[in-house]
């Protein structure tokens, strides 16, 4: 399995296709996707690319980190594993029952 990279500070106009085309210059891509906001349908300004080999991923990091792409200076590094999220926290809704104290 290859290596997944985080690509930050993307232009809001960047698409999966333009991301794939640019990062495909450094080796065989398994995937490229811009993360979209569910509510607005607009780019959230970052995405992920996954390379078939670790060597290609290393070339892409070296070549693209700090480079201007579509008017923005990219931040490119190895993606961290996704953290498991709990059920949203919430806190304690108990309390003392709210009884009257006569």
CATH of the domain at 19: 3.30.70.330
Q: Could you tell me the sign of the dihedral formed by the alpha carbons of 91, 92, 93, 95, in that order?
A: negative
Does residue 46 lie in a domain region?
Answer: yes
Does residue 66 lie in a domain region?
Answer: yes
Give the model's pLDDT for residue 86: 66
This prediction's pTM: 0.79
Give the model's pLDDT for residue 83: 76
Give the model's pLDDT for residue 38: 94
Structural domain of 41: 4-78
Does residue 69 lie in a domain region?
Answer: yes
Q: Give CA–CA dist 25/38, Å, rounded.
A: 30
Give the model's pLDDT for residue 88: 59
Main-chain dihedrals φ then ψ at residue 48, nearest 5 degrees: -135, 145
- Domains: count for the chain: 1
Does residue 67 lie in a domain region?
Answer: yes
Does residue 16 lie in a domain region?
Answer: yes
Mean pLDDT, 10 residues at a time, over the chain (102 residues)? 92 96 97 96 96 97 97 97 67 53 53
């Amino acid at each position: 399995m290859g290596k997944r990279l985080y690509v930050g500070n993307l232009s809001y106009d960047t698409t999966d296709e333009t991301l794939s085309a640019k990062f495909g210059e450094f080796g065989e891509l398994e995937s490229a996707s811009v993360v979209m906001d569910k509510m607005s349908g607009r780019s959230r300004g970052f995405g992920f690319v996954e390379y078939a080999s670790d060597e290609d991923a290393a070339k892409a990091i070296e070549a693209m980190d700090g480079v201007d792409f579509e008017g923005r200076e990219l931040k490119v590094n190895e993606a961290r594993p996704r953290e498991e999220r709990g059920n949203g926290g919430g806190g304690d809704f108990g309390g003392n029952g709210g009884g009257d104290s006569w």
